[in-house]
Structure 1
Amino acid sequence: MAFLINNLQYYLQVDVIESQFSILCEKVNSVHDFEAIRLAHDHFLTSLLGHSFLFMKPMHHCLTEILSLCTQFTQLMKQDAQLTDEHDQQLKHIQKTFQRQSGLLFTLLSGFRSQQSSPHLAQLLLRIDFNKVFSSAVASHKDLQ
């Protein structure tokens, strides 16, 4: 769980926000009229939303579900109670749902990559699937169908 979230956070911070902010700063420093700066800022915001996958409903839903599962897991682990059967069932549900959602996320990202030639997205996929865990799981899931 932490591995996926860390890589998503790194992608958003470095590959999306910092790179787009750098482009915005270059544009702002090269123009001298307000309208050009406003347009550059609009482009900056649109790029942030686009590269963050917030315009793609399936991707947005998948990311929201993954983050919700992380919150559920954290809340479950914060409880001081002993691990009961109920806790065990909740953990298994979280694990199963996380595996399904992270596999879906990888599939969506892979499909999105084939439509867009973004080096940052390719780097995210490489970081997430460096040991071929996700691609193997997706391939074995397709074989079962």
Structure 2
Amino acid sequence: MTPIEKRYQATSLTVQKYRARKFAWGACDCGKIAAFHARKFGWKVPKTGTYKSAIGARKYLKSLGVETLPELLDKIGFARIAPASSMMGDFVSFESDDPIGGVGIVIGGGKIMAFHEDHPGPVMIDADWSKVDRAWSVMVRDDG
């Protein structure tokens, strides 16, 4: 399977699984979706815990030695890339009302799947690259 086919397949599975679900801490949130998505690419990521609130999510992140989801992506080892070079399947972060930060997944066609406070579940929003502060490649590096 080519890298583009892998990106398409894994991203499609993530979107299909989560697009119709409603936000719920510990069941359908940025961290749960990102962990599922990363596993589709073969990443070993920490179990996502059993929290049921924003406070629980923050405590869980602290137990992993980080304060925010973007810090966790760095700690896991995803390679940082320029937001403008992100491709289907890559992770992006942006401003969030929640102190743990927000992450989304580039789904192609100029869209990002992420949560928005005006919607009950994840939405496919037009990418506003001026508001994306960081991006990470989801492809597993070949460190040889």
Give the alignment's TM-score, normalised by structure 1.
0.27
Q: Which has a greater percent of strand? A: 2
